[in-house]
Structure 1
Amino acid sequence: MKPCFIFGTRPEVIKVAPVYLYFKNQGENAIAVATAQHREMMDMMLQVFDMEPDYDLNVMTHNQSLNSIVARVMERLEPVLLKESPDIIFVQGDTTTAFTAALCGFHLSIPVAHIEAGLRSGDLYDPFPEELNRRLIDVASKYLFTPTKRAKENLLKEGIEEKRIFVVGNSVVDALEYVKSKIDMNSYRERLVALDDYILLTLHRRENIGEKMRSVLRGIAQFIDEVDLRVVFPVHKNPRVREIVNQEVGNNPRFILIEPVDYLQFLSLLDGARFVVTDSGGVQEEAPSFGKFVVVARQTTERPELIEAGFGLLSGTSQESIYKALIEASQNRLCISENPFGDGKTSERIYKITRGEGI
C-alpha cells in the first residue's frame, strides 16, 4: 500500500501523526505532504512527532484568504499526487487543507479516507468555514473514520452508506498517549509558569474574533477578579486576536499572557490547570484525557459527547453567560473517568480497515 497523508495545520499534525507513524512502523510506503497552511505552528508539531514531510507545498502567505489557500493547495498538490500515484489519501478534520486535498483526490479518482468524519454543529456558518468543509469532505470520501457512535449517526442521517462508515475513536488520544510516554509534565510546566492554581484559556476561532471575543474576555476578567484566580493564556499569532487581547486584558495582572506554546508545553499547562476555557475543537477532545472540565466559549459544538459525558458545558460568548459558566465550572467535580473520545487504538483500527482486515 502507498498511502498519502496530507496536513497543513497544528491540529491536523496532532491527529494525523500517530496514524502516519503506525503505517510507517508496519512497513508501509507512507508519504507525508505538508501544505503549511499555518507554517510556524505546523512546524512546531512536526518536531514533536519527529516527522519530516516528503513534500512541503509552502502555501502560507501574509493575510491569506480562504480562497487563496484553496487555489494554492490545489495547484501545488495535484502534481505531487500525479507523480506519486498513491493508493489512498488521508485527510483529517475540517481545515481548508483537508477540504482541498479531498477535492483534489476526488478529481483524480484517488480514494479519500477522512479521519474524524461525521462531526456536525448543525449550523453551516458556525464554525466557519469548518462546518461546510467537513460535510464536503465526508461526501467525497470512501472511508469515513468517525471518532464516536454519534458521529456515525450524523452520517447515516445524511444518507451516507453504512459500509463506508467505521467507528474507530479519535486519534488525538493516540497522540496523547505518545506524548505522555515521553515527557515529564511538571518539569515542562514549571518552565512556563510558576503557578499551582490557574485557568487555562485559548481563543482564536474566526467567528469569535471581534465583539464576541471581547465579551468572553470581559466575562473571564469579571470572574477572576472575584475569586482571586490567574488565567494562563497562550495568545494566538493572529494580529486581530492580539489586538483585542491587548486592549481588553493586556494590563490585567491576573492574565498571564504568553507566546504560543508547542504541543508538549500546552499539554503540560492543561495537565496543571483547574479547568479550561476554549473555543478550540481539539482542546475539547484533549481535556478529558487529563480529567479537566471544559467551558466551551462558542454558540455550538460539534463534539456534544463532551457535554453529555459531563466533561464540559457550552457557555455561549456573552459576558454574562461566560461569567455564569465559570462559576459552574469552578464548582464542578467530575464523577466519571471514561474518555468519550477513545482508547488510544484508533491508528491500529484505521490501518486494519484500510488493509481489509476489519476492526
Structure 2
Amino acid sequence: MKQFFAFVKKEFFHIWRDKRTMFILLGMPVVQIVIFGFALTNEVKNAKIAVLDNSKDAATTSLIAQFSASRYFEIEKNLTNYNQVEAEFKKGTIKLAIILPPHFDEDLQHLNKAQVQIIADASDPNVANTLTSYAAAVIIDYQNRITNNRKLPYTINTEMRMLYNPQLKGAFNFVPGVMAMVLLLVCTMMTAITIVKEKEMGTMEIMLVSPMRPQIVVLAKAVPYLLLSMVNITTILLLSVFVLEVPINGSIFLLAFESILFTLVSLSLGLLISAGVDSQQSAMFISLIALFLPTVMLSGFMFPIENMPLPLRTVSNIVPAKWYYIIVKSVMIKGLGLKAIWKETLILTGMMIFLLTMAIKKFKIRLA
C-alpha cells in the first residue's frame, strides 16, 4: 500500500508541474459550465418587435405597454402603415410584428372581442414558435386583466402549471447536460493521455519493473484525477447554484455520490482508451472528438431521445452521459431519491466495472 501511495504522489507532482494540465483539469470545467450555462438555452429574451397600432386608443396603448414591460420583448419600432411590416422583416431588425386593427377598444366594449394579428419571422421556426407563444400569453394575460373575472359566454379558462421549473429557465435543462459533458470529456481525455504519455516517454516500462503489479499502476494513475474531479464537481455545483441559479432540490450527498460514480466511469473509459492507443494525438482524438458528438447528440439534453429513430435510441443506451443526465435531473431538479434512480445507478456501476476490467486486462496484455 505504501508503494501504491508513492505512485499516486508521483502522479500528483507530475500534474502540478504541468500548468497546462492544471488549467485543463480545473479551469476548463469552470469556463464550460459558465459559457454553456448561459449560451445553451431555449429561452428567447429581449426579442425586437414592431407594433402597428391602427387604433391608438386606451386599450391598444395598455396592451402595447404590457408587451413593452415583458422581459421577452423589446419594441424596436412603431410602424405607421402595413407596408412597412415586410420591409422591417427584410432588414432583419425585428423578429415579430404586432398588428392592432382600427376600433380595437370599441370592438372590445361592444362586441366583447377584438382581433390581433401576430406576424413572425419563421426562417428560424423554433424561435418563431416560441415568440408567438410568448405573445399569445401576453395577450391572454391582458384579456384576463380587463375582464375582471366577469363570466363571458363561451369563455374557456385554461390554467397552466409548470412543475420543477415554473419560470421555464433554460439552465434547468442544460446544467445537468453540461455537467455530464464536462466530467466525461475532461476525465476521459486526461486519463487517456497520461498513460500514453508514459508510453511515449519510455517511463512506463520502468514503472512496470517495480514490485507493483500492472493493475495497481493503472489504478494509481487514475486516483489523482478522481480527486481533482471531486474538486470540479464541487466547483460546478457551486456555479450552478450561485451563478446560474439552479437549485439542488434533492440530497446533495446522493448527487455527489452519483457524480463520483460517473467520474469513475469516465476514468475507466479513459484508461481503456489509453491501453489501446500508442500516441497522445490518438488518445486525444478518440476521447475528445469521438466522445463529444455522442455525448451531445445522444445523451438527451440537446435533443429528445424519444424523437430519434429506434437504432439511435438503442445506441444511446451505451452512452454513459445519458444515464448521468437522467440522474442529475431527477436528484437536482426534481428532488427525487435513490428509489427513483436505482436503475440508472446500476447501469453506471455495471459500465464502470466492465470498462475498468477491460482496461486492466488490455493493459496487462500489452505491457506486462
For the aligned pair, the TM-score class normalised by the smaller chain equals under 0.3
TM-score normalized by structure 1? 0.27
Higher RCO, Cα 8 Å, sep 6+: 2
Q: TM-score by structure 2 length?
A: 0.26
The structure richer in strand per residue is 1
